[in-house]
Amino acid sequence: MPVSAIIMLVIGCVVLYGGLAYCISRAIRKKDANTKTE
């Protein structure tokens, strides 16, 4: 596969799955913080 295709693959994965992982981790952290406060 051309290098340019691999670069687009990496960009796609970082934006979509990296972004999703970040948002989910943030939601989990917030949930943990709420649980501790309660």
Where do contacts with another protein occur on this chain (CB under 8 A)?
1-2, 4-9, 11-13, 15-17, 19-20, 23-24, 26-27, 30
Q: How far is the CB of 29 from another protein (least distance, A)?
A: 9
CA 26, 22, 4 angle in degrees (round to 5)?
A: 170
What the block records as the tokens of 22 is 């970040």
Q: How far is the CB of 35 from another protein (least distance, A)?
A: 13
User: Of how many residues is the chain composed?
Assistant: 38
